[in-house]
Amino acid sequence: MEIEKGKTAKYLKEKREVAQEVKDKQKEFLKIKKAILDALKEDALTIDQLTQKLNMAKHEVVFYLMSLVKYGFVQTGDVDDMDEYFSYKLKNNG
């Protein structure tokens, strides 16, 4: 098969099958990402508020939310009066 530079993924796709588990995890990430970003559309929320809205375990919300901060979709907002919990809001990439 002729290999074109910049389009080599096709080459490996023919040689190697992507595991179903990997595909499932990617779909799950996209689903959670969408849910978090949708939840933050209206207002900045704390992890506790997001947990209630998304019906997810708190530690999972922390992991995915912090990943979205790292990827540049979400930014950290203000901390509460007790200096304990931050709120998080959508990043204005505009």
C-beta of 41: minimal distance to another protein in Å? 20
Residues 62 to 91 in contact with another protein, rule: CB under 8 A = 62-67, 69-72, 76, 79, 83-86
Which C-beta is closer to another protein: that of 44 or that of 47?
A: 47
Count of residues binding another protein (CB under 8 A)? 41
Residue in this structure with the two tokens 């990997």, named with its chain if needed: 22
DSSP 21-75: HHHHHHHHHHHHHHHHHHHTTTS-EEHHHHHHHHT--HHHHHHHHHHHHHTTSEE
The DSSP letter of residue 84 is -
Residues 6 to 65 in contact with another protein, rule: CB under 8 A = 6-13, 16, 18, 22-23, 25-26, 29-30, 33, 46-48, 58-59, 61-65
Tokens of 24: 């499932």
Residue from 28, 30, 11 nearest 20 by CA: 28
Q: Which residues bind another protein (CB under 8 A)?
A: 3, 5-13, 16, 18, 22-23, 25-26, 29-30, 33, 46-48, 58-59, 61-67, 69-72, 76, 79, 83-86
